[in-house]
Structure 1
Amino acid sequence: MKRPPHLRKLSFEMVIGTTVRIHGEKLETGSTETTLYLWNNSIADNGAQALAKALKTYSTVATLDLHNNSIGPDGAKALAEALKTNSTVATLNLHGNKIGDDGAKALAEALKTNSTLTTLNLFLNSIGDDGAKALAEALKTNSTLTTLNLRSNSIGPDGAKALAEALKTNRTVNAK
């Protein structure tokens, strides 16, 4: 298999619930942008927490695709904490997990300070009005996020109203 010219070396080890190690070498001419596709596994909260720990120090992951991994609120909280300090993740796909309102609230807090995340996919995550309200508050101050996917959640009228109000002032996000 031919290696992409911009990537010299990338290896990934994962033992669920124990540790995650991501190793990479940067290009001689600058940093690489790495995409980690880990979808349709069973990493759950423990795996997400281990990934979050790695993201705090590994600075070349631009896209993290974790859809369909049984990640719950605790995993989402850990990822949110990592996003507060990580300045390279631009896309986070959590489609088809179970983060619920608590996970959405944690991600909303991260959005208030994160200036690199442009795409957040929360499709099918059991997010209700409380999670939607928290995300709406974050959208009032975040000007980096351009895509927010909230399809197939449990958002009711109150959550929808909060999001609509936030979108009156936020001109960058394209909510789905």
Structure 2
Amino acid sequence: MNITSKEVKKIIDETVSKTVDELLQQKLIKKKDMNTYQKTEQLLYNYNAFKEVVKDKQEMIEQIENYGLPNISNSVIPMPQDTGYKVTVSEEEKEKSKIAALESSIALTKNYIKIIDNALKTIQDDPYYEVIEKCYFEGKKHSVVANEWLTPIDETTIGRNKNRLVKKLSIYLFSDDVIRELYT
């Protein structure tokens, strides 16, 4: 069975929508009404989770390829007024469709990871770059990072430089929004 581009787009849209809903439910991302600084922080806090999601979805694809889709209960009984014709989709078609949706979601997530990686490269030579890694990727508090510094420094220095670097990243990640924020 050939899948049309319209069907592929629909699968992609549904996958993206479900992924965003999942991330919202798990509080890995928040609803809009965030400024660019807050959006950048959310991306940084969730950076490692995005990489894990890719691995999990790749494992799901392997499971489907090796064992098929999990069996779903057939306990739903059609209602008597249901007289329409139903298109039955083969298990192979269902598997292909699910794999295509997962692959689409993986590609989208990998693209966002790449965008974040490219933004991080723009600040990697900064003497305080390590603050971003420790605070966002390792989840450490400013005081811990300050005490771990080669020559211990004040935690306000950590906070100030973290904020400075996040602002730089936000310009790279959300340049149009930053401009809008400045002029509205």
Identify the TM-score tier after normalising by the shorter chain: under 0.3
Q: TM-score, normalised by structure 1?
A: 0.25
Q: Which has the higher contact order (CA 8 A, sep 6+)?
A: 2
Q: TM-score, normalised by structure 2?
A: 0.25
More helix by share: 2
